[in-house]
Each structure stands twice: as C-alpha cells, then as structure tokens.
Structure 1
Amino acid sequence: MSYQIRPACAADNEAILSLLQGTPQQGAVTLNFERQPDYFRGAKVTCEQPDVWVAEPRDARGKVSAVYNVGWRSLWINGEVRRVRYAHDLRIDPEYRNGMILHRLFRQLRKQLAEGEWMQTTVLHDNQASLSTVASGRAGLPVYYPAGTIETSMLYTRARKARLPADITLRQTNEVDLPEMATLLNRQGRQKQFFPYWDVQRVRGDDYFYGMGPGNFLGLWVKGELKGLLGFWDQKAIKQTRVLGYAKGMGLMRHLYNSHSMLRGGMRLPAPGGVLSYLTLHSLVVENDDPELLRLLLDHAVSFFHGRFDALVCGFFANDPLAKVPARYRRRLLLSEHFLVSFDGDPREQLDSDRPWYVEVARL
C-alpha cells in the first residue's frame, strides 16, 4: 500500500472525524473519544501550535488512513518556559494496521523533530495494544521513556454542606482577579515540571482557551490573599466521550446503576449513542501544595456543580502528595502511563529531580 504522508488541512476535517469515530475503545462499555464538530478547533486547545499530519492512500484520495498531532505547548521546565511537543491523537484505520504504516509515520516524525528534541505522550493503562507496539522499543521507533503514572479521577458531584474557616473566602473569579491569578499560577508553575505557562489575558478569546473566560475559576482567599485556584472547563463543544454500546448484561444493569447514581451520586450511563456528562478541572494550584486548601476547593466544586454535571474530572501524577485528596471522594479512577519520547537519548536526565510533576488533563 502506498501512502502520501502530509500536513493536515481544513479539508481533511470530515475524514479525520470519520477515522476517530471508527476507532473506539472496547470494553464492558464501548467508548469513543470524539472531536465533533471540528477536529482542528480541539487541536488548537490541546496544543498552542498544532502540528497535525495524515496518511492518505494514493489510490483513495480524500481518505485518511492515519492521523497524529505533535504540536507544541509552552510549559515550565526546570523553572523556565519552554516549548515542548505533545504527541497524541495517533489513530490508524483498522483496515491499514497490518502494514508498514506505523513505521512510515515514525520515519516522517523523525524528520520533524529537531536534534535532541523530545516529546510528552500518555497511553491509557488499559490500552495494551498501544503499550505493546509504539511503547515497545521496536527498531525504527523512538524510545518511550517511562515518566510516571497519571491518576485521572472522575469525582461524582453531590449536594453537600461545606463550612469554611472564618478567615477563608471561596468564590468564582472575575475580570478584576486576573492579575492576582496570573501571579499565583506563574509562581506555582515555576516550581513544577510540565506546568502550563499562563498568560491569563488570553482567556478573553484565544483559540487555546476556547470556551473559557475570566469567570471559569474558583478562587480561595486566605485573609484576603489568593492562595488557591481551581479552573473548570466545559469542553463538550470540542470533544466528547460517547457510549457506543454495552456488553451483554450491562444494558440491563444500566438502569439499576443510574437509579443508584441519582441517590448517591455517580456517572449516569446514557443510552447507546449518548455522551457522558462531566466537567473538566484544570489549573489546580494551592499555596505550598497544601492538601487542606485543595480539599476545600474540591468540596465546594462537587456541590456547586451538582445537578449540572455528573462528575468532575481532575488528574495528578500518582506520586504527587495532592493525589491523595481526590481519593477521599466517590470517584472512578482511570490510570495512564506518561512517557517522554525521544530518538536522541533519555530526556529524564535533563530534568531537575526536586520539582514535582504536574499534568493538565484538560489538554490531554
């Protein structure tokens, strides 16, 4: 099979969306991770500067048999802001998986990377097919260096009464708070590895912050000083988790499970074809990584959004002390393996070992 591997363009949108729809994740619940209605709009949220490539069969012009994005984001690395690639959205049409297409894609990728350049990527822990192929170290592929496990939590919303200490104020942010928010985000970001660089003025309409505004945060003030932030982002307009079907028996259990969820809180399972109802959290920072301040923010959030969303999605590296806070809530846990990918040696040796690692699940 002969392919043309080329940069993607706007005309490829429908073909890419079709490819994404045709590569679901199988299991007791068959899920599809979609980017309707515009793949490129979502690509501009995942990466500040997308770098999307497609493989087009030469005998089927207009068809996309594979896609990947290795765009750049601005991150704090060793206390400085650097542009780092994030490799994601690698999808190959099942019809073409038995050929040499994966190796051809990686040969193209090798040409794109500068000397010594490395990338981040994540692979779902349950995605054994990917872990055994692209992360296997086969000849011609870059090396995937293990770099931590990510715990993504779906915290079930529910009504609860949270009492704040007398010296603490917790409220939704607004335009006036932006300078103070920028100070906190960049002070905290500089201390961590992989924390996104924030220019909060961009929340007024930048593509990288599509659907976000100055009010899309909960702020926590201690004695009048901003000490914690929790961003929230409804991303249904750019990506969806759609339920395509249920394993035998699960369809009947769905109604019982949903009744239980209405009483105790939980992710309601839609009929096949429906999408899951969740809100993505981002920019979770608290002064001195104080778990008690994070607990106050999450307590407020799970109650504040109850009735509008079934769950709140947040993520931490498993070795982050703050990862213990989401474990206190009723949740569903999803594990992912984080890798640093390079053709030119181990990037982990370049990282300061005393800085905690951060993951922004809203941009995965």
Structure 2
Amino acid sequence: MSHRIRRAEPRDNAGILALLENTPQQGAVSLNFERRPDYFLGARVTCEEPDVWVAERRDDPSRIDAVYNVGRRRVWVNGEVRWVRYAHDLRIASDCGNGMLLPRLFRQLRARLEPGEWMQTVILRDNHASLGTVASGRAGLPHYYPCGTIETSLIYTRAQRRRPPAGVTVRRTGPSDLPAMAALLRREGAHKQFFPHWEPEHLDGDGYYHGLDAGSFLGVWEGGRLRGLLGFWDQKRIKQTRVLGYRGGLQWLRHFYNLHSRVRGGFRLPKPGGYLSYLTLHAALVEDNEPHWLRWLLDHAVQAFHAQYDALVCGFFASDPLSRVPARYRRQVLHSDHFLVSYDGDPRDALNHDRIPYVDVARL
C-alpha cells in the first residue's frame, strides 16, 4: 500500500473526520473524540499556527490513512513568551498501523524541525497503543522525555448554596474588565511553565479564540482587586466526545447509573451514538497560586452551570498546588503523561524547574 505524505488542505476535511471516527479510544466505555463539522476550525483553536499533515493513498487520494498536527502556539517558558509546537491528533488507520507509515511520518516531521527544536505532547495513561509505539523509543522516532503527570477532573455539577466570605465577589467578566484580566494573565501567567500567551483584546474573534468573548470567564474579586480567573468554553461545535458502546455489565447498568447521577449529580451515560454533556474550564489562574481563590471560582461554576451540563472538565499538573482543589468535589479523574519530544537531546535540562507547569485542557 503506497501513500503520499503532504500538508493537509481544506478538501481533506471529510477524509480526516472519517479517519478520526474510525479510530476510537477503547475501554469499558468506547469513546470517539470527534471534530465535526470542520476539523480545521478545531485545529486553529488548539494551535495559533496549525501544521496539519496527512497520508493519502496514491490509488485513492480521497482516502486519508493518517493525520497529525504539530502546530505552534505561544506559551510562557522560563518567564518569557516563545513559540512551541504541540504534537497531537496522531491517527493512523487500523490496517496501516503495523507498516512503515509511522516511521515515514516521523521522517517527514524531522525534516521540518529546526535544530534543537522540541515539542510538547500529552498521552492519556489508558492509551496503551500510543505509549507502546510513539513513546517507545523505536529507532527513527524522536525521544519522548517524561515531563509531568496531568490530572484531568470531570467535576459533577450540582445545586449548592456555598457563598464566598464578605468582601469577596465572584461573577462573570465583561468588556470593562479586560484591562484587569490582561494584567492578571500576564503577571501570573509568566510565573507558570507552559501557560498560554493571551491577548484578551482579540476575544470575540475567530481562530485561536473562536467561541470566546469578554464574558467567557468567571472572576473573583476581593474589594476592587481581581484575584483570579477561570474561563469556561462550550466547545461542542468544534469538538465532541461520542459514546460508541459499553462493555460488560455497564451496558445493562446504564439506566441505574443515570438514575443515581440524576439524584446525586454525575455524567448521564447516553445510548450508544450519543454525546457526553460537559463544559470545559481553562485559563485557571489565581494570584500567588493561592488555592482558596480557585475554590470560590469552582464553587460558583459547579452551581451556575448545573442546569446546562453534567460535568465541568478541568486539568492541572499533579505538582501544582491547585490540583488539590478539584478533589473537594464529586468527580471522575483521568491521568495523562506529558512529554517533551525532541530529536536533539533532553530539553528538560534548559527548563527552570522552580516554575509550576500548566496545562490548558481546552487546547489539547
């Protein structure tokens, strides 16, 4: 089977979507991470400068057998803003997984990287296929250097009556708050490793900020001082998580599980073919990284979005003191491994390890 590897074009959208929908994540619940209706719209949200490549069959150019994105985005590294690639969305058709297509993809990648350039990537702990292939150290592949564990929480929404103390206010932001938001994002973001570079003046635009505006954040104030931010992002128009099926007894227990979730809060498991209902939280940033500010923000979010979503999705590196805050809520937890990927030595040696790493789950 012969393939041509080339940069992706808009005409490839249907072929990429078909490939994504035929390479599900297996487990007790079989899931598909989908990007309908436009893969490239989601790619521009993940990376400011997407760099998408595909492998098409020479005898059938409409058939896409592999895709990956190694786009660039600006993040804070050692207190400075720099462009860093993020390697993601690697999918290879099941009938091509044992051939030479993967090494060919990585040879093409190596030719495009600058000397010494490194990338970030995140792999779900349950994704044994990826951990056993791309992160295995096979000859011809780049080296994957472990650089932290990410804990993603699916926090169940519910009605509650907890209120912040006197003098503390939590509310949605608005246009008049943009200067204070920009100052906080820059001041506190610079202290974190890999925190995204934000330009709040570009909110309400497209591309990297598609679907966001000045009101897409919660803020916590003490008196007149903004102490923290928590963004919320409904991404169902660009990314979806579809349930394909259930294994074992779960397919019979689904109705009882949903009844329990309705009473106590939690994910309602849809019929096979249905989608999970969640809201993605991002840009979680609080002054001096003090957990109590995040707690008031999460308390507000858990109640405010209860009628619309089953769960709120947020993520933190396990080494971040803020990661302890989601443990106060009813939740499910997923673990992922974060890697720095390089052909030219260990990039971790150049990092300031006193800075707390950050992950933006809305852009994974």
Whole-angstrom CA distance in 2 between matches of 1:243 and 1:185? 36
Shift of 1:248: 3.1
1:246 aligns with 2:246: yes
Secondary structure, aligned partner of 1:65: strand
Q: Deviations over 1:216-267 (max 9, x none)?
A: 0001001210001010000000000000111132122010000000100001
1:22 aligns with 2:29: no
Q: Look up the match of 1:221.
A: 221
**Any unmatched runs of 5+ in structure 2?**
none
Whole-angstrom CA distance in 1 between matches of 2:139 and 2:97? 17
Shift of 1:12: 0.1
Q: Look up the match of 2:8.
A: 8
Q: Look up the match of 1:97.
A: 97
Q: Look up the match of 1:156.
A: 156
Q: Deviations over 1:68-118 (max 9, x none)?
A: 000001000111100000000000000111210000000000011111000
**Any unmatched runs of 5+ in structure 1?**
none
Q: Deviations over 1:119-172 (max 9, x none)?
A: 000100001111111001111000000000000000000000012111111110
Shift of 1:187: 0.5
Conservation of the 8 A alpha-carbon contact between 2:156 and 2:329 = yes
Whole-angstrom CA distance in 1 between matches of 2:14 and 2:358? 34
Q: Look up the match of 2:235.
A: 235
Secondary structure, aligned partner of 2:60: coil
Shift of 1:2: 1.8
- 1:161-310 to structure 2, matched below 5 A, reads 161-310=161-310
Q: State the Cα RMSD in Å.
A: 0.7
Q: Structure 2 length as normaliser, TM-score?
A: 0.99
Amino acid at match of 2:279: L
Secondary structure, aligned partner of 1:14: helix
Q: Look up the match of 2:340.
A: 340
Whole-angstrom CA distance in 2 between matches of 1:164 and 1:25? 40
Q: Deviations over 1:279-298 (max 9, x none)?
A: 00001111111111111110
Whole-angstrom CA distance in 1 between matches of 2:250 and 2:17? 28
Q: Look up the match of 1:49.
A: 49
- 1:99-138 to structure 2, matched below 5 A, reads 99-138=99-138
Secondary structure, aligned partner of 1:63: strand
Whole-angstrom CA distance in 2 between matches of 1:138 and 1:247? 32
Q: Deviations over 1:187-231 (max 9, x none)?
A: 111101100001001112131111111100001001210001010
Whole-angstrom CA distance in 1 between matches of 2:306 and 2:258? 15
Whole-angstrom CA distance in 2 between matches of 1:144 and 1:98? 20
Whole-angstrom CA distance in 1 between matches of 2:212 and 2:138? 41
Whole-angstrom CA distance in 1 between matches of 2:3 and 2:31? 29
Conservation of the 8 A alpha-carbon contact between 2:204 and 2:210 = no
Secondary structure, aligned partner of 2:261: helix
Whole-angstrom CA distance in 2 between matches of 1:9 and 1:82? 27
Whole-angstrom CA distance in 2 between matches of 1:154 and 1:270? 16
Q: Look up the match of 2:327.
A: 327
Whole-angstrom CA distance in 1 between matches of 2:167 and 2:248? 53
Amino acid at match of 1:195: F
Whole-angstrom CA distance in 1 between matches of 2:79 and 2:85? 18
Whole-angstrom CA distance in 1 between matches of 2:191 and 2:80? 10
Secondary structure, aligned partner of 2:178: helix
Shift of 1:59: 1.5
4+ long deviations beyond 4 Å: none
Secondary structure, aligned partner of 2:251: helix
Whole-angstrom CA distance in 1 between matches of 2:130 and 2:353? 28
Q: Look up the match of 1:77.
A: 77
Q: Deviations over 1:26-55 (max 9, x none)?
A: 111110000000000000000000000000
Secondary structure, aligned partner of 1:171: strand
Whole-angstrom CA distance in 2 between matches of 1:20 and 1:140? 25
Q: Look up the match of 1:349.
A: 349
Shift of 1:57: 1.5
